[in-house]
Amino acid sequence: MTRSAAIASAQAFLDEGRFEEVLARRVAFRTESQNPERAAELRRYLEEDMLPAMAALGAEARVFDNPDPAGGPFLVARRIEDPTLPTVLTYGHGDTVRGMEGRWAEGRDPWTLQRDGERLYGRGTADNKGQHTINLAALEAVLATRGRLGFNLTVLIETSEETGSPGLRIFCEQQRELLAADLLVASDGPRLEIGLPTIYCGNRGGMPLRLKVSCREGAHHSGNWGGLLTNPAVVLAHALASITDARGRILIPEWRPTSLTPAVREALKDLPVGGPGAPEIDPEWGEPGLTPAEQLFGWNTLEILTLHAGTPEAPQNAIPGTAEAVCQLRFVVGTDIDDIAPALRRHLDAKGFSMVEIVQARANVFGASRTEPDHPDIRLACASVEETTAKKPGLLPNTGGSLPGDIFAEVLDLPMVWVPHSYGGCSQHAPDEHMLVPVVREGLAIMAGLFWDLGEKPRG
């Protein structure tokens, strides 16, 4: 049997309706990790759906409790064909954001898969049930065609990615031997463009920070006290203005990366950013001298997500007692995650803003990760995708968003090949989340070809 036969088998999984049947079953599990009432549903997804899926791959699987009580359980499955063969680890997450019932167009139920033309609607279709369904189906197609994978396989499915993957790092440290592998191949996030197969080598990290100025209890009349009382909103506004300039350029030296290497620039030089339906890019915003791709994928950015003082919905003639902002630093490799908040503290103190309190807004933070774009496994994956699709894939050193790739890189010491099967307009954290059928079909072909090649061609 041949590579093309494996690809045809994978695509038949979609063409014959089996992909929609399996995905509908998986979408029906209401795996909202942000909803404490759905904790039992997270375990049900692993025990009732993933365990049988692993058995179909001839893999021995087990569900593990999370060492962090804030997180849901993990599933680990292993298929060992020959201890001398390399091991591929594939990862996915079975949890979703909240369903947002009642907000979907045309009365759609987020937990019922619905096809409308080339769109498959349902919560988790794009993020991430649909994507790991593609990869598991591709593995089955290779196994059915060749009778073997040609490598050892480990599957890791978590159920708390949408809450920052609590417990994942500790679990990987505790189970380092069980999860030992030579390469990570996984799928999450969007392609650069709908019709452009994409490979990315890592992710930017994301550090949420809450800045708060507390001057006093309650608000006081601005006519009676204006000019006599410190206004926390004014203090906070000036503190924020000291972190970036008026065009968003970061002014804290420790937050400015040094990892935009010639190899990264080369990988980014021809990559498109934006496209139909995307907001218009402001070429004057951010770090001067960078292309949009370099700004998004090769640099750090501070975004102010919320600002609050007083009662914006009903302004009063009163000086507020407190003001706060929630910010987020998106950062690339080379940024010391442990020094992000301390560097901000030093900066604010030096600028005279010692009264600004800094609170990390979330306990679980994704770090930055990157496998070098010229790594042999990245080259193999790019060649495989091009052979399958007759398209040169878009190669990203890292995405602009965040995933737990830093854990796989740092704890398990793995090179990473991420192959996304979604697109930027998929609404993955909003009502009307969906996948595109043509991208699913091409994704099945890509992954079947890639898994075939990993079992045939020498790495390195």
What amino acid occupies position 104? W
Structural class in CATH, domain 3-203+368-454: alpha beta
pLDDT at 272: 85
The SS3 of residue 251 is: coil
pLDDT at 271: 86
Is the domain defined by 206-260+287-360 classed in CATH 3.30.70.360? yes
Phi, psi of 203 (to 5 degrees): -145, 150
Which residue carries 């019922």 as its tokens? 112
Predicted confidence (pLDDT) per residue in 156-186, tens digit: 999 999 999 999 999 999 999 999 999 999 9
The residues facing 74 across adjacent strands are 64
3-203+368-454 and 206-260+287-360 share one fold: no
| pTM over 0.75, yes/no | yes
Residue 43 CB-density burial (10 A; 0-12 exposed, 13-18 middle, 19+ buried)? middle
Q: How many residues does the chain have?
A: 460
Would you list the domain boundaries of the chain? 3-203+368-454, 206-260+287-360
Predicted confidence (pLDDT) per residue in 230-288, tens digit: 999 999 999 999 999 999 999 999 999 999 999 889 989 888 887 776 788 999 999 99
Q: What is the CA radius of gyration of the chain?
A: 24
Smallest Cα–Cα separation from 73: which of 160, 132, 170? 160
Phi, psi of 154 (to 5 degrees): -125, 130
Smallest Cα–Cα separation from 319: which of 239, 237, 223, 212? 223
For residues 122 and 130, give the distance between their C-alpha atoms in angstroms, rounded to a whole number: 10
Cβ-contact 46, 63 below 8 angstroms: yes
Smallest Cα–Cα separation from 123: which of 136, 109, 107? 109
Q: Tens-digit pLDDT profile for the chain (460 aa)?
A: 899 999 999 999 999 999 999 999 999 999 999 999 999 999 999 999 999 999 999 999 999 999 999 999 999 999 999 999 999 999 999 999 999 999 999 999 999 999 999 999 999 999 999 999 999 999 999 999 999 999 999 999 999 999 999 999 999 999 999 999 999 999 999 999 999 999 999 999 999 999 999 999 999 999 999 999 999 999 999 999 999 999 999 999 999 999 999 988 998 988 888 777 678 899 999 999 999 999 999 999 999 999 999 999 999 999 999 999 999 999 999 999 999 999 999 999 999 999 999 987 666 788 999 999 999 999 999 999 999 999 999 999 999 888 999 999 999 999 999 999 999 899 999 999 999 999 999 999 999 999 999 999 776 6
Please state, in angstroms and as integers, the Cα–Cα distance from residue 350 to each residue in 245, 330, 345, 353, 356, following that order: 17, 23, 9, 7, 12
